[in-house]
Structure formats: structure tokens, C-alpha cells
Amino acid sequence: MDIKKVVVIGAGTMGSGIAQWFTQQMCSVELVDNSQEQLLKSLQSIHLSWDKLLEKNKLSLEKITEMKRSLFIKSLDEVSKDADLVIEAIIENLDVKKDLFKKLDNHFSSQTILSSNTSSFPIELMATAVSSERKKRFVGLHFFNPATIMKLVEVIKAKDSDERLCQDLYQWFESNDKKPALCKDSPGFIVNRVARNFYGEPLRIVDSDDEFKMKEIDHILREVGGFKMGPFELMDLIGIDVNYSVTCSVWEAYKREPRFAPHALQKQMVEEKRFGRKVKRGFYKYD
Ligand code: NAI
């Protein structure tokens, strides 16, 4: 499999990181968002991150110049119809995603692979928006935050996804220094199912907006448990809104099993727009 031309839809936390990572693999990348402001912000922050790598001598000037020339921001109508791979990383809303996939199915060549970075929706449900031919070339590709650093990519085979295509994608990621995992199309796939309790139990222990207790739990899991980040720090990084919507959809998919239930504090924070690091206010403040 050769992936040279990639389109990433959604230039938020994940889309930006995914676009940056693919450009670093020397792919030509077109980044799309329905907010022009977000697109410019994303391009700027990717360039800034490369400039920092240059300062630290981690990448050469030639490579950075080449990468800057290979990353484009575009509107959906302008993107190349013959892309090898499209990755959708827009908001976690099933109807909005299905609407988008319908458009993508019409826009791209029959050979283009369509994929979703959804955290929780069944790939099969999104694939209902595309033609039966395209369903074979429709998969889940679930990256982790930050996508440039986290090695894991869950490659999700839906009911109609071509088995060989999933294996080829697995190998392509492996040869590009990621650690892929082939997953069933089940709620939360592997990580987001296991991780529900990493967030849910600490929320139930704290049970209130108590920063002192949160710090204590983060400290214990980080320093004693050996995790890179504590649960509250990680939820702030993921985005409280994103994490809440994943929690709700996994909980619904498992017929509201109590162990997956969202905590009232998550809902309250979403209502208060305390979305985490991206707005500088979540469980903690970031100034
Ligand atoms: P985000 O809220 O940071 O970014 C979403 C972007 O999509 C925004 O820039 C928004 O303007 C854009 N957008 C919304 N509707 C659009 C449309 N119809 N067409 C084009 N652009 C549109 O969200 P984030 O965190 O990047 O999440 C994106 C996806 O990745 C979600 O499905 C989420 O579940 C998944 N995900 C998130 C992770 C995280 O840690 N935040 C980790 C892995 C997956």
C-alpha cells in the first residue's frame, strides 16, 4: 500500500495532530475545516511546532521547508478527488458525520479510502451514508492525543470493510513507526472501553468539584501508578466535551450499564463550557 495524498477533515485538536503526523511521513496533506479561523490557527500552530523542532535540531531545514510546502488548507470543494486516504476528525456527532460522509462519497474517486477518527460511534453506522462499493473502502482509524507522539492507531474493520485493506493499513502504519492494533467495530473499540473506568472511578471518588482531591488522585496515578498523566489531567487534555460525549455514547451502546455511566460533573462542566486545556479552563486552570 502506498499512501501519498491525504485529506484530513476537521482541524481541531485531533485533525491538526493527524495532519501534522502525515505531513511528517512526507505525504501531501490537505486540511479542511468549516471554520476558516480554526484552519488558520491550526496551520500556524503546526508551523510553529516544526520551527521549534528546527531550533532543537530535531529536524533539518530542508525537511521542514519540504513539509511546509506539502501541507495545504482548503475548503471541501477544493480538495483533490484522487486522494489515497481521507480521515474525518470533526465533532463527535453521528448525524453531522453521516452528512459529511455522504458528501465525501460523492466527491472522491472510487479508490479513495474513507476513514473516521471517531472515539465511540460504530463505523458501520457511519458507513450507512456511503455506497455499497465504498463500504469496502471505509474503516475506522482511531488516533490518540497528541497524534504526532502517541504511537497507537486502532484500525477498525467494520462489517463490510475489506479485510485485506485493513491488513495493508496495519502494515503501512507499522512501517511508519506507529503501533497499530486491529479492532472489532465494538463500542469504544479497545482503549476507549478500557479507559472509561480510568475516568469514571476517579470522578466517583471525588464526586464534587474539589481541586485538592483531583490533584491528589492525579498525583497518585502518575507518580505511584506510573501513568503518564492522571485522569483529571488527561480529561482536560482530551477535552471535557469530547470525553463526555464519548462516555455517553459508550454508556448508551452498553444499554446504560452503570459502570459506564457519565458523572454529573462532566455534564455540568460542558454546560459551563469548561472544556479543558483548549479553553484554558477544565478541572484545572491554564493561564
Ligand atoms: P475539536 O472540537 O477539537 O475539533 C473538531 C473540529 O471539527 C473543529 O475545528 C470544527 O470547526 C470542525 N468541524 C465541525 N463540523 C465540521 C464539518 N461538518 N466539516 C468540517 N469541519 C467541521 O474535536 P477533536 O478533539 O479534534 O475531536 C475530533 C474527533 O476525534 C471526534 O470524533 C473525537 O471523538 C475524536 N477523537 C478525539 C480525541 C481527543 O483526545 N480529543 C482522541 C481520539 C479521537
Question: pLDDT-derived band of residue 104, with 50, 70 and 90 as boundaries?
Answer: very high
Those residues whose C-beta lies under 8 Å from the C-beta of residue 249, and which sit 6 or more positions away, are 92, 120, 121, 187
Return the pLDDT at 120.
85
Cell numbers found for residue 232: 483529571
- Which residue minimizes the CA distance to atom 44 of ligand 1? 119
Q: Are strands 28-32 and 113-116 parallel, antiparallel or unpaired?
A: unpaired
- Which residue minimizes the CA distance to atom 42 of ligand 1? 144
Ligand 1 atom with minimal separation from the 10 CA: 7
**37, 46, 79, 91: which to mutate for ligand 1, most atoms within 8 A of CB?**
91
- Which residue minimizes the CA distance to atom 34 of ligand 1? 119
Return the pLDDT at 129.
98
Ligand 1 atom with minimal separation from the 237 CA: 40
Those residues whose C-beta lies under 8 Å from the C-beta of residue 211, and which sit 6 or more positions away, are 283, 284
Q: Which fold has domain 191-279?
A: N-(1-d-carboxylethyl)-l-norvaline Dehydrogenase; domain 2 (1.10.1040)
**If we measure between CA atoms, which residue out of 177, 189, 82 comes closest to residue 139?**
189
Phi first, then psi: what are they for 29, rounded to 5°? -125, 130
Domain with CATH 3.40.50.720 in the chain: 5-183
**Residue 232 confidence (pLDDT) above 90:** yes
Torsion sign over Cα 198, 201, 207, 210 = negative
Which residues belong to the active site?
119, 142, 154, 192
- With a 6 Å cutoff on the Cβ, whether 197 touches ligand 1 is no
pTM of the model: 0.92
**Residue 231 confidence (pLDDT) above 90:** yes
For every residue of 163-196, which 3-state class applies, written as one string? HHHHHHHHHHHHHCCCEEEEEECCCCCCHHHHCH
Is 63 exposed, middle or buried, given 0-12, 13-18 or 19+ CB atoms closer than 10 A?
middle
Domain with CATH 1.10.1040.50 in the chain: 191-279
Over residues 159-205, the pLDDT tens digits come to 999 999 999 999 999 999 999 999 999 989 999 999 999 999 999 99
Q: What is the mean pLDDT of residues 93-108?
A: 97
Average pLDDT, the chain: 96
Return the pLDDT at 58.
93
Over residues 13-49, the pLDDT tens digits come to 999 999 999 999 999 999 999 999 999 999 999 999 9
**Residue 8 confidence (pLDDT) above 90:** yes
Q: What is the mean pLDDT of residues 142-156?
A: 97
Separation CA 91–CA 207 (nearest Å) = 28
**199, 242, 246, 270: which to mutate for ligand 1, most atoms within 8 A of CB?**
242
- Which residue minimizes the CA distance to atom 39 of ligand 1? 238
The share of the chain scoring above pLDDT 70, in percent, equals 100
Return the pLDDT at 125.
95
Cα 88 to ligand 1 centre (Å): 8
- With a 6 Å cutoff on the Cβ, whether 45 touches ligand 1 is no
CATH no. for 5-183: 3.40.50.720
Q: What is the mean pLDDT of residues 95-103?
A: 98
- With a 6 Å cutoff on the Cβ, whether 34 touches ligand 1 is yes
Q: What is the mean pLDDT of residues 225-230?
A: 95
Those residues whose C-beta lies under 8 Å from the C-beta of residue 117, and which sit 6 or more positions away, are 10, 14, 15, 18, 87, 88, 89, 140, 141, 142, 143
